[in-house]
C-alpha cells in the first residue's frame, strides 16, 4: 500500500522540541495546531511531534528535523491550499459540506483527502 510507505517509517526516532523562539514563531505562523492555544502549541509541540514522527521519519536519512519542517513550510508556501480553495469558490467564513471540500481538494491536488467533521466543542 503506497500510503503506508509515507507514514511512521521509523518510530524509534525522537522528536526534539524547537527551543529557538524565532523558529517556533515561524513554524507557528505557517503550521499552527488549530485545536489548542498558541502558548500550548509552542510549549508542548505535540502536533509538530506527531507530524514529524508520522511523516518526517520517512525522509530522516536525507533531512533532519529542522530541514523537514523547512521543506514542509516551503511546500505549503508553494502550494497555497487556501488560495486554491478560494479560486474554486470555497471562501472562509461560509459553510460547505465535507464532500464539497474533499472533491475540491481532490481536483486541486489530484490526491485523495480524508477530511471529517469533528463537530463543535
Q: Are 65 and 20 in contact (CB under 8 A)?
A: no
Is 12 contained in some domain? no
* Confidence band, pLDDT 50/70/90 cuts, at residue 77: confident
- pLDDT of res. 5: 62
Question: Do 69 and 31 share a structural domain?
Answer: yes
Of 101, 109, 107, residue with least CA distance to 79: 109
Is residue 6 included in any domain, yes or no? no
Q: How far is CA 111 from CA 3, 62, 105, in A?
A: 11, 24, 8
Q: Which residues contact 94 (CB under 8 A, 6 or more apart)?
A: none
Q: Is the pLDDT of residue 74 over 80?
A: yes
Q: What is the C-alpha end-to-end distance of the chain, expressed in Å?
A: 35
The pLDDT tens digits for 6-53 are 788 888 888 999 999 999 999 999 899 989 999 999 999 999 999 999
Segments forming the whole domain that contains residue 115: 79-120
CB 109 within 8 A of CB 75: no
The model's pTM is 0.68
Mean pLDDT of 94-118: 85
* Amino acid 52: pLDDT: 94
Q: How confident is the model over 89-115, as a mean pLDDT?
A: 87
Amino acid at each position: 500500500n503506497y500510503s503506508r510507505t509515507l507514514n511512521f517509517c521509523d518510530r524509534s526516532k525522537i522528536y526534539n522540541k524547537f527551543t529557538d523562539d524565532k523558529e517556533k514563531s515561524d513554524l507557528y505562523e505557517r503550521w499552527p495546531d488549530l485545536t489548542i492555544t498558541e502558548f500550548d502549541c509552542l510549549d508542548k509541540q505535540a502536533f509538530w511531534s506527531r507530524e514529524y514522527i508520522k511523516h518526517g521519519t520517512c525522509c530522516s536519512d536525507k533531512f533532519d528535523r529542522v530541514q523537514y519542517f523547512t521543506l514542509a513550510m516551503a511546500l505549503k508556501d508553494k502550494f497555497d491550499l487556501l488560495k486554491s480553495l478560494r479560486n474554486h469558490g470555497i471562501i472562509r467564513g461560509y459553510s460547505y459540506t465535507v464532500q464539497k471540500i474533499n472533491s475540491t481538494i481532490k481536483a486541486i491536488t489530484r490526491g485523495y483527502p480524508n477530511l471529517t467533521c469533528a463537530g463543535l466543542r
